[in-house]
Amino acid sequence: EAGVTQFPSHSVIEKGQTVTLRCDPISGHDNLYWYRRVMGKEIKFLLHFVKESKQDESGMPNNRFLAERTGGTYSTLKVQPAELEDSGVYFCASSPDRWSYTFGSGTRLTIV
């Protein structure tokens, strides 16, 4: 079974630019989650999709972040415009049942 795939693995962009992160969940997993770890802090929840619907987006930091999951398959997380405090590692996870997760390897995002 293929795992959760995220790309790019690393991204370095300038402040004010736009970046789009992608997550391909395990096939058949309706639940898809985005998390973020900023330097020195714990991993924090961003949002949860069930199929293509946003179930909980309470962790999204502000309206510069836009997540989509068209067709209930892969998901994208766009940051526009990027700010320095957006730097961190963005993890995606998928689950068939909301309780057992498989995480992706993460995208390390650096804003300079």
Candidates 24, 69, 75, 106: give the one binding another protein (CB under 8 A): 106
Instruction: Find the binding residues for another protein in span 1-20 (CB under 8 A).
Output: 3-4
Candidates 52, 64, 74, 105: give the one binding another protein (CB under 8 A): 105
Q: One symbol per residue from 40 to 79: x for binding another protein (CB under 8 A), - otherwise; what is it?
A: -xxxxx--x------xx--x--------------------
Counting residues that bind another protein (by CB under 8 A) gives 26
3-class DSSP state of 5:
strand
Residue 88 is encoded by which pair of tokens? 């961190």
59 by Cβ neighbours in 10 Å (0-12 / 13-18 / 19+) ranks as middle
- Considering the complex, what minimum distance in angstroms separates the CB of residue 62 from another protein? 19
CA distance 16 to 112: 10
Q: What are the contacts of 66-69 at 24+ separation with CB within 8 A?
A: 67/34, 69/32
| Residue 4 and residue 104 in contact, taking contact as beta carbons nearer than 8 Å | yes
Q: Which residues bind another protein (CB under 8 A)?
A: 3-4, 31, 33, 35, 41-45, 48, 55-56, 59, 91, 95, 97-106
